[in-house]
């Protein structure tokens, strides 16, 4: 068997069991055999039953236990739950942290292509203003903030310099060094994966780039970072104006980098819908996740779209050949 895929079931109060089931039914058996689901065995089986989904599952001790019987292999996270689709915040938080810790441990092994986590409500993390990206970066002992959130499909990618923080806090988190470190990570990964230098567009922070006023972040931080990266041979343009770029000019670039989350994710999702995955670069392993949330409004409706999770699995399967 080639490299294995670690899949974390994610937030129990979500559509995750639905997209896991639909995904498992759509992918071929060769890929199924590579997948190890980190979840609570009783919880997810109860969710399958409530959704009237018929799927064969089995508990395995770890990822070294190989099975080719076409059952969904589950590494059990040992917790008790009273209601499988209405898990209280404390229990859900413990479940998420345990699951991520187990996934992190296995993802470090050489026989693993990478880690996928299904969507997680960020309120389940004990520390404010962090998500899975920041949690795993801390587990990997990343200290220079060089980890990168990349939202990608076959045609185009975007990446925010800051992730899940309030708008008022964004300027405090932007430095020349952080921008350079993250873009180096992006550039190096792109050359490793695609075997060519990417063309990168960098947005400014303020409307109309603050007209490039002397005290603006564009003049003090972003432009000096751009000049430094050009000297390093990185192909990039900027600072670009964000209110018009996504009309058509984004097509000139392989990657567009924004200064904050919604600056690039909102237009990307408007253009590409579910045709995307979320990749975290700069960790000690590849981490990917579907590019959507927990969708609690769709629980039990059987309307959830599994295509982003399928793309995550296919991406890691290709990477792990």
Residue 52 burial (CB count, 10 A)? 7
Cα 157 from Cα 114, distance rounded (Å): 19
**Closest to 34 measured CA to CA, from 13, 7, 15, 55:** 7
Residue 163: its pLDDT value, please? 84
Long-range contacts of the stretch 48-55 (C-beta < 8 A, 24+): 48/17, 48/21, 50/84, 50/85, 50/300, 51/17, 51/18, 51/21, 51/300, 51/302, 53/17, 53/18, 53/21, 55/21, 55/24, 55/25
Same fold, 1-142+283-321 and 144-277: yes
Look up the CATH superfamily of 1-142+283-321: Isopropylmalate Dehydrogenase (3.40.718.10)
Decide: helix, strand or coil at residue 15: coil
pLDDT at 80: 84
* C-alpha span between 111 and 155 (Å, rounded): 29
pLDDT at 253: 97
| CATH class of residue range 144-277 | alpha beta
* Per-residue pLDDT tens digits of the chain, which is 321 residues long: 589 999 999 999 999 999 999 999 999 999 999 999 999 999 999 999 999 999 999 999 999 888 778 899 999 998 888 777 889 999 999 999 999 999 999 999 999 999 999 999 988 987 766 788 888 988 998 876 778 999 999 999 999 999 888 899 999 989 999 999 999 999 999 998 889 999 999 999 999 988 889 999 999 999 999 999 999 999 999 999 999 999 999 999 999 999 999 999 999 999 998 788 999 998 999 999 998 889 999 988 999 999 999 999 999 998 766
Domain boundaries, the chain: 1-142+283-321, 144-277
- What is the per-residue DSSP string for 34-103? TEEEEE-HHHHHHHHHHTT----EEE-SSTT----SS-EEEEE-----S-TTS--HHHHHHHHHHHHHHH
pLDDT of residue 129: 63
Q: How far is 7 from 74, CA to CA, in rounded Å?
A: 9
């Amino acid at each position: 068997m080639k490299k294995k895929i670690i899949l974390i079931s994610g937030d129990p109060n979500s559509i995750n069991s639905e997209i896991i089931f639909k995904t498992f039914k759509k992918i071929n058996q060769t890929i199924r055999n590579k997948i190890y689901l980190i979840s609570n065995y009783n919880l997810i089986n109860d969710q399958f039953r409530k959704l009237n989904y018929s799927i064969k599952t089995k508990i395995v001790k770890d990822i070294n236990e190989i099975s080719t019987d076409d059952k969904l292999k589950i590494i059990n996270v040992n917790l008790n739950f009273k209601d499988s689709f209405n898990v209280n915040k404390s229990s859900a938080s413990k479940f998420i942290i345990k699951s991520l810790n187990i996934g992190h441990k296995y993802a470090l092994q050489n026989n693993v292509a990478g880690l996928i986590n299904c969507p997680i409500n960020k309120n389940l993390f004990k520390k404010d203003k962090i998500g899975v990206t920041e949690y795993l970066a801390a587990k990997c002992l990343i200290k220079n903030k060089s980890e990168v959130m990349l939202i990608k499909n076959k045609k185009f990618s975007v990446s925010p310099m800051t992730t899940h923080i309030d708008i008022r806090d964004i300027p405090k988190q932007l430095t020349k060094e952080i921008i350079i470190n993250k873009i180096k990570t992006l550039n190096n990964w792109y050359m490793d994966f695609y075997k060519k230098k990417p063309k990168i567009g960098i947005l400014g922070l303020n409307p109309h780039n603050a007209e490039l006023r002397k005290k603006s972040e564009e003049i003090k931080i972003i432009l000096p970072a751009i000049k430094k990266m050009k000297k390093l041979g990185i192909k990039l343009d900027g600072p670009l104006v964000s209110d018009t770029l996504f009309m058509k000019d984004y097509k000139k670039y392989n990657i567009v980098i924004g200064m904050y989350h919604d600056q690039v994710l909102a237009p990307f999702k408007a253009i590409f819908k579910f045709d995307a995955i979320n990749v975290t670069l700069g960790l000690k392993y590849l981490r990917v996740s579907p590019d959507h949330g927990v969708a609690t409004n769709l629980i039990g409706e059987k309307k959830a779209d599994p295509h982003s999770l399928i793309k995550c699995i296919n991406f890691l399967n290709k990477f792990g050949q």
